[in-house]
Amino acid sequence: MYLLKTEADFDSAHFLAGYDGKCHNIHGHRWKVVVTICAEALEGQGQTRGMLVDFSTLKDSLREEAGSLDHTFIIEKGSLRCETLRALKEEGFSLFQVPFRPTAENLARYFYQRMKARGYAVKQAEVYETPVNCAVYSGE
């Protein structure tokens, strides 16, 4: 089995609705995302002969996905009042609404699914919300 890993990072804010602790307040992270893809065999011909995929293509894909969350406020749908959302939008804040609680665990699954949708054979996705705290999602 061949494995390739690449990583990207982004800065964003979030909060955990219904959480009894510090994370119920809006706070930010420098998130790091690491994606591992796999294959039993390497490409046999052409420019990518001897490769699983071109690293630059894989890296660009992950950076594009991470970039869509960069400098945004990640919000679980339904966790803020409509008036609050409207006010944030009127102020020009970049909002990224998701249908899940924006935990590291759920973001790991999100990146796994996004890269899989791009056609990669994803083995796992890791999301670090701090340099020492990481969530891993390894498949459905």
Residues 6+ apart with CB under 8 A from 86: none
Give yes or no: 71 in active site: yes
C-alpha–C-alpha distance, residues 67 and 97, integer Å: 15
Catalytic residue among 7, 23, 43, 105, which? 23
The answer to whether 4 touches 52, Cβ cutoff 8 Å, is yes
Catalytic residue among 24, 27, 64, 71, which? 71
DSSP reduced 3-state for 76 = strand
C-alpha–C-alpha distance, residues 88 and 96, integer Å: 12
C-alpha–C-alpha distance, residues 20 and 64, integer Å: 33
Residues 6+ apart with CB under 8 A from 59: 6, 8
Give yes or no: 82 in active site: no
Catalytic residue among 65, 76, 126, 129, which? 129
Give yes or no: 27 in active site: no
Catalytic residues: 23, 71, 129
